[in-house]
Homo-oligomer: A and B are copies of this chain.
Amino acid sequence: MIKVAIMGYGVVGSGVYEILRKNEKSITKKTGGKTLEVKYILDLRDFPDHENPALFTKNFDDIINDTEVSIVVEVMGGLKPAYEYSKAALLAGKNVITSNKELVAEHGTELMAIAKEQNVNYLFEASVGGGIPIISPLSQCLLANEIEEIYGILNGTTNYILTKMVKEGADFADALSEAQRLGYAERNPEADVEGHDARRKIAILASLASGKFVNWKEVPTEGITKITRQDVAFAEKYDAVIKLVGVAKIDPEGQVYIRVSPMVIPRTNQLADVNDVFNAILVKGDSIGDVMFYGRGAGKLPTASAVVADVIDAAKHIHINKLITWKKVDNNFMIDPETVPCRYFVRATNSAVINDFSGAEDLGNENGEWFFITEEMTEKEFKNTLGDRGAFIRVLD
């Protein structure tokens, strides 16, 4: 019998409880006969109608001082008090499972190191891609590969909005309103639409793939708020769609290029077909080539199922560190993004701009806006040439 504490009884926390209860029998089989029992649920709110109100506590000490509890699920979100609680639990020799991408992106390095020292695990499959298995494949199934590139649609909210703009010709504001009405976007949508959520996720993936801590604050990030209906329509003429993409490339010397921004994706690319709230992550390894993972990137049960998978994994490795880790290194290994070549989809303010880009492909014009696609050039060269004569979106090649 393994005792579990759940910290945070919101959407994901209640999903974790539900799955542990519903699939109890099959889960016991999968742990090799160890039953998983929830002993505590930590939440400041009251849940008088819960089937087992005795599980609830408002006091973290109940959990940390209970030596029976060997697995703590942290699904509170945010840094405070999640960081302090997670650290304390690990230092007390308990396994910690989380879906909290903010915490992993900010303090994952330290928490994994403590887990290793304590011979327990800090696992975070649910922090990226919701229910889609990606952390575990990266840190296990693809281990034989040097990972050269990861790119993906990492945020369901923005993908829903952009899908609506592509399929229905909606403009950004209307698509956002609809997403809010359906509960796909928060009342304050900034974390999603400005790319901050995707930024943390790509930083986590890049850290895992490179073995070096990539600070999410150093990820150049652009959101989708400035994408217009016309951008979508002219991208369509090029047989492409616009999506918010997180990209990380790791060169043979271990230098890392990373970015979150909207990208123009030709329809021949598998990512172009990833619509609505779905996520997809493409990994390129030196041996395997391209492999893609696709599924629901958010939602109560998908995310909770990833958490519970980690709980089962921790139960199978109760005092064996799984060696999922990255290190902080001092030297600068980030590639200057201005030096990276790319093609650009341009919305220019006058017809003459295209003449400054040799080999550019003209896509036409509408209402005083001229659209074209450049040849490949560094971002520095591109921006110098364009100046303030237009807006642009990078092309995914």
Q: List chain B residues, Cβ under 8 A from A141.
A: 125, 133, 136-137, 306, 309
Q: List chain B residues, Cβ under 8 A from A131.
A: 285, 287-289, 291
Q: List chain B residues, Cβ under 8 A from A48.
A: none
User: Do A142 and B270 touch across chains, with their CB atoms under 8 A apart?
Assistant: no
Task: Out of B273, B288, B299, B305, name the residue touching A144 (CB < 8 Å).
Answer: B305
A146 at the interface (CB under 8 A from B): yes
Interface residues of A in 284-303 (CB under 8 A from B): 285-296, 299, 301-302
A316 at the interface (CB under 8 A from B): yes
A308 at the interface (CB under 8 A from B): yes
A256 at the interface (CB under 8 A from B): no
User: Do A140 and B136 touch across chains, with their CB atoms under 8 A apart?
Assistant: yes
A29 at the interface (CB under 8 A from B): yes
User: Do B291 and A132 touch across chains, with their CB atoms under 8 A apart?
Assistant: yes
| Bound Cα distance A306, B270 (Å) | 22
| Bound Cα distance A299, B291 (Å) | 13
| Bound Cα distance A296, B290 (Å) | 7
User: Do B142 and A309 touch across chains, with their CB atoms under 8 A apart?
Assistant: yes
The answer to whether residues A294 and B309 also contact, given A144-B23, A301-B288 and a CB cut-off of 8 A, is no
Q: Which chain B residue has the least Cβ–Cβ distance from A26?
A: B146
| Bound Cα distance A31, B322 (Å) | 9
Closest CB in chain B relative to A112 CB, distance in Å: 13
A92 at the interface (CB under 8 A from B): no
User: Do A288 and B295 touch across chains, with their CB atoms under 8 A apart?
Assistant: yes
Interface size on A (CB < 8 Å)? Answer: 53
| Bound Cα distance A289, B29 (Å) | 22
A32 at the interface (CB under 8 A from B): yes
The answer to whether residues A304 and B287 also contact, given A141-B133, A144-B23, A273-B270 and a CB cut-off of 8 A, is yes
User: Do B288 and A302 touch across chains, with their CB atoms under 8 A apart?
Assistant: yes
User: Do B296 and A293 touch across chains, with their CB atoms under 8 A apart?
Assistant: no
| Bound Cα distance A351, B236 (Å) | 42
A88 at the interface (CB under 8 A from B): no
Q: List chain B residues, Cβ under 8 A from A133.
A: 133, 137, 140-142, 291
Q: Which chain B residue has the least Cβ–Cβ distance from A294?
A: B292
A107 at the interface (CB under 8 A from B): no
Give A121-142 as 1s and 0s: 1 = Cβ < 8 Å from B's Cβ atoms: 0000100000111001100111
Task: Out of B19, B31, B273, B295, name the residue touching A291 (CB < 8 Å).
Answer: B295
Give A306-339 as 1s and 0s: 1 = Cβ < 8 Å from B's Cβ atoms: 1111011100100010110000000000000000
Q: List chain B residues, Cβ under 8 A from A23.
A: 144-146, 286
The answer to whether residues A309 and B144 also contact, given A131-B288, A293-B292 and a CB cut-off of 8 A, is yes
Interface residues of A in 119-174 (CB under 8 A from B): 125, 131-133, 136-137, 140-146
A30 at the interface (CB under 8 A from B): yes
A390 at the interface (CB under 8 A from B): no
User: Do A316 and B309 touch across chains, with their CB atoms under 8 A apart?
Assistant: no
Closest CB in chain B relative to A27 CB, distance in Å: 7
| Bound Cα distance A286, B288 (Å) | 30
User: Do A301 and B273 touch across chains, with their CB atoms under 8 A apart?
Assistant: no
User: Do A295 and B289 touch across chains, with their CB atoms under 8 A apart?
Assistant: yes
| Bound Cα distance A144, B377 (Å) | 47
User: Do A30 and B143 touch across chains, with their CB atoms under 8 A apart?
Assistant: yes
Q: Which chain B residue has the least Cβ–Cβ distance from A18?
A: B287
Interface residues of A in 266-293 (CB under 8 A from B): 270, 273, 285-293
A211 at the interface (CB under 8 A from B): yes
Q: List chain B residues, Cβ under 8 A from A309.
A: 140-144
The 5 closest A-B pairs by CB, nearest first: A144-B308, A133-B141, A291-B295, A287-B305, A131-B288
The answer to whether residues A287 and B316 also contact, given A23-B144, A26-B146 and a CB cut-off of 8 A, is no
Closest CB in chain B relative to A170 CB, distance in Å: 21
User: Do A293 and B293 touch across chains, with their CB atoms under 8 A apart?
Assistant: yes
